[in-house]
Amino acid sequence: MREYLLTLCITAAVTYLLTGPVRKFAIVAGAMPEIRARDVHREPTPRLGGIAMFFGLCAGLLVADHLTNLNEVFEKSNEPRALLSGAALIWLIGVLDDKFEIDALIKLGGQMIAAGVMVMQGLTILWLPIPLVGTVALTQWQGTLLTVALVVITINAVNFVDGLDGLAAGMVCIAAAAFFMYAYRIWYSYGIEAAAPATLFAAILMGMCLGFLPHNMHPARIFMGDSGSMLIGLVLAAGAISITGQVDPDVMKLFSGSERNAVHQMVPVYIPLVMPLTIIAIPAADLVLAIVRRTWRGQSPFAADRGHLHHRLLEIGHSHSRAVLIMYFWSALIAFGALAYSVNSASMWIVLGVVALSAVGLGLLLLPRFTPRTPRWAEAFVPPRYRRRRAEARAGSALTAAAAAGAPVAVGAAPVERTPQSVPAREPGTHRKLNGSTALSERTARVRTQERERA
């Protein structure tokens, strides 16, 4: 465990330290696109954060290769080199897209090529554990197609959810933490060395996300861009492929009594890893909804819009930070709930706990729909936004400002418009202070009036 923590910390440190220089490089290189209709930030922000994340990945793999216990992963398996090859290719495509906005179909082709490169080097699904059936061996073509599909789905799911500051990095970090705990348990509890590469990939992925998050939290100073979102999506998919298609349930039946019991014991996490519905359940749901929504409208599935889940959270009244935290909450609930259920699927307390937390999540989700009425005696114990006096004062000041600007003011149910005669005329060149008074002196105004009368 100490070597994994060391690898995680070094990956996070390298990513964190390189993000600042990468931000300056992105500004100089002009990787600061104008604000688009679907964006939620208010000023241009540099991209190319994936450059720092990629070098963090390289640093993590380099350090792990020189550690005593983790060095065996590189000696007995070719998966780390397969991951680095696919990651380098997908990272280059992402860098080009961050700078030049390449076509979506070209990116899709690059994702498939990167997945094919990993398959050629041995990172592929060899078999699947099916509940009540056992282990089903896959042919070479079946394993290749399933591997490519899983990589492409995971990459685009993470890419689609990258719409708010810190959202994608935080959600992938949560998924990687749950994935690390599961893979570490398979390796050390059952003594299955085939789970070692997946455990290493999860530790490095956590370091990449944790190192980048301080620069990417709201308000973000830099975005990871496609070079970062596609990279962490590929690393997450590589870990899922490694532990799903490389770990043989025949070995686990020695600990569970039979192969069927072994497969049944691993069902809560195994099948969601094949079709990522647990560790990235929220991004996968957002991906499916986006494809259905755009296809229904007759648009391309890759056409950008403002219909993602995080956009809808903002529309119903959540703040930027609260929307991100809500997405974190649901991701953690699904990922760690499945992890806990895989450890002890016979416990009803786990199911009841997940149900109770789901109810709490729904309450947080619908919070903007309610307007809490805090008693006056309790106003000192609640945040200022829930205090009635402060709310009434803000509403009154807003009405006063609207009236001073000549905007329609709602009184009851009927808006009352100020007539032009009731609005004091302003001289050309004058402007208002924050309190509504004129900035120029009355004497200057009188002099200008006399000059116009003489003319």
Annotated binding site: 159, 226
* One-letter-per-residue 3-state SS of the chain: CHHHHHHHHHHHHHHHHHHHHHHHHHHHHCCCCCCCCCCCCCCCCCCCCHHHHHHHHHHHHHHHHCCCCCHHHHHHCCHHHHHHHHHHHHHHHHHHHHHHCCCHHHHHHHHHHHHHHHHHCCCCCCEEEECCCEEEECCHHHHHHHHHHHHHHHHHHHHHHCCCCCHHHHHHHHHHHHHHHHHHHHHHHHCCHHHHHHHHHHHHHHHHHHHHHHHHCCCCCCCCHHHHHHHHHHHHHHHHHHHHHHCCHHHHHHHHCCHHHHHHHHHHHHHHHHCCCCCCHHHHHHHHHHHHHHHHCCCCCCCCCCCCHHHHHHHCCCCHHHHHHHHHHHHHHHHHHHHHHHHCCCCHHHHHHHHHHHHHHHHHHCHHHCCCCCCHHHHHHCCHHHCHHHHHHHHHHHHHHHHHCCCCEEECCEEECCCHHHCCCCCCCCCECCCCCECCCHHHHHHHHHHHHHC
- Chain-centre distance of CA 451, in angstroms? 63
Residue 269 token pair: 């996490």
Q: Are strands 414-416 and 409-411 parallel, antiparallel or unpaired?
A: antiparallel
CB 149 within 8 A of CB 206: no
Q: Any idea of the CA torsion for 129, 273, 256, 132, to the nearest 10 degrees? A: -40
Q: Which residues sit in the known binding site for Mg(2+)? A: 159, 226
**Pairwise CA distance, residues 214 & 207, whole Å:** 12
**Pairwise CA distance, residues 372 & 89, whole Å:** 52
Which amino acid is residue 432, in one-letter code? Answer: R
